[in-house]
Amino acid sequence: MARRSWAEPYRVKVVELIRVTTRGEREQAIAEAGYNTFLLRSDDVYIDLLTDSGTSAMSDQQWAALMVGDEAYAGSRSYYRFEEAVRAVYGYEEVVPTHQGRGAEHILSQILISPGDVVPNNMYFTTTRFHQEYAGGQFVDVIVDEAHDPQSLYPFKGNIDLDKLQAVIDEHGAERIPYVSFETNVNMAGGQPASMANLRAVHEHCQRHGIPVMLDATRALENAYFIQQREDGYAQRSIKDILREICSYSEGATVSSKKDNLVNIGGFLALRDAELARRARALLVAFEGLQTYGGMAGRDMEALARGIHEMVDSDDHVAARVGQVAYLGDLLHDAGVAIVQPVGGHGVFLDARRVCAHLPQEHLPAQALAAAIYVDSGVRGMERGIVSAGRDPETGEHHTPQLELVRLTLPRRVYTQAHMDVTAESVAAVAADAEQVSGLRFTYEPPELRFFQARFAPL
């Protein structure tokens, strides 16, 4: 008899109590937060799907690892265990520790990008693009067109379009391209993977032009799972093996360990070139910490080393993680809620353009929808649309992305299927009455990465 259902490959040992608030309390909380879910206090949130960054539950083995952390300022043995884990699982020889992924992005951008350079990316991510532009580079999107269509069922919407990439090379010259920034499981597209065939083809294309490929491998584990499930020739390969092959088609990677690696803080820059790593470590000391801790405590590195091995010890872990995301996506799809398809690896993305079709993009429909869902149930998601895209630094006009999304991101090993049921019921109820969602306007707008701290008011 075929197995009809599945369960998480772990059992609960410790619980954290969460509070159910009243609608009146939530209305007051969101108003005080300026209708920005980032500014809500976590005590006022029932089910927190703002992000999967640093919000995962650590295992008993990871908690035990904290107790053997070596807090030596220099030469910590915990660093060497962490370094061994990165080499064994990801396959990069040079490991530069950072406090989290954006620390790695900053250092990589500073050592490789010169003013006037052009950096092709498969869609932007907020902090990645900021660091590239802060270093004087110009971001250019070379992702396949399907990534901008939330209704497209193309299985690898994270792929780079080789014709677009070649057009950038032809226009600017390979010498002005310090590297190609290739994100695995593209966040802003809805957690969409790249195929192994595309990863390989992009790397070979770049090698012919002398251009390095640098991965954002933050969610490469989930990308490996989708390759296993969707790409010919990989069904019988282990996730661990597929992950190593993904990384082989690059000269380095930035990783926020707060996602795949199952820890609450940490990250790293991984490289193959020893000289490039030496330059990175020189900046590390100034901005993060010594080369054997890089902004992390010894206990954090111990938990991280364990988490890196744990995420690939069995394929069951990532299958359950992506499976829970798919479960929520299926509930919403069956309820008729417009979502990005196929459902991605780390969250379900609501298509606010379709859900709130009565609101023009300049009325910030995704921001408004995220606030309305919070008021309805205490479920916290986040905007991924015109607010996140920011403004053109030269014209001052809003960037107007085709995707106007609300992201419901699932922490790893934290919530049950019952929490997903509650979430789906709330989102479906808000979507069914979406014409009651009013647009928003800015009342405070920071000049950089505005979505973190901006404040809004109803129109």
- 93 Cβ contact partners less than 8 Å away, ≥ 6 residues apart: 87, 271, 272, 274
Within 210-255, where are the H helices? 220-230, 239-248
Could you confirm whether 44 is annotated as catalytic? no
Could you confirm whether 73 is annotated as catalytic? yes
Give me 380's structure tokens.
């916290």
- 199 Cβ contact partners less than 8 Å away, ≥ 6 residues apart: 182, 246, 249
Phi first, then psi: what are they for 347, rounded to 5°?
A: -175, 170
If one counts every other C-beta atom within 10 angstroms of the C-beta of residue 451, the result is 20
Strand partners, 349: 407
The candidate with the shortest Cα–Cα distance to 382, out of 40, 49, 44, is 49
Q: Of residues 157, 259, 306, 321, which has the active-site annotation? A: 259
H or E segment and range at residue 442: strand 440-444
Could you confirm whether 128 is annotated as catalytic? no
Which amino acid, 188?
A: M
Q: Of residues 129, 384, 407, 412, which has the active-site annotation? A: 384
Q: Of residues 156, 179, 451, 456, which has the active-site annotation? A: 451
Could you confirm whether 129 is annotated as catalytic? no
User: Quick check: helix, strand or coil at residue 350?
Assistant: strand
Phi first, then psi: what are they for 196, rounded to 5°?
A: -65, -35
- 425 Cβ contact partners less than 8 Å away, ≥ 6 residues apart: 377
Q: Of residues 161, 216, 260, 300, which has the active-site annotation? A: 216
Q: Of residues 35, 79, 125, 415, which has the active-site annotation? A: 125
Residue tagged 């298509």 (tokens)? 351
Burial class (CB in 10 A: 0-12, 13-18, 19+), 301: buried
Residue tagged 């809805």 (tokens)? 190
User: d(Cα 432, Cα 424) in Å, to the nearest integer?
Assistant: 12
Could you confirm whether 216 is annotated as catalytic? yes
Q: Of residues 23, 73, 433, 444, which has the active-site annotation? A: 73
Q: Of residues 37, 51, 55, 126, which has the active-site annotation? A: 126
Could you confirm whether 451 is annotated as catalytic? yes
Instruction: Report the catalytic residues.
Output: 73, 125-126, 216, 259, 384, 451
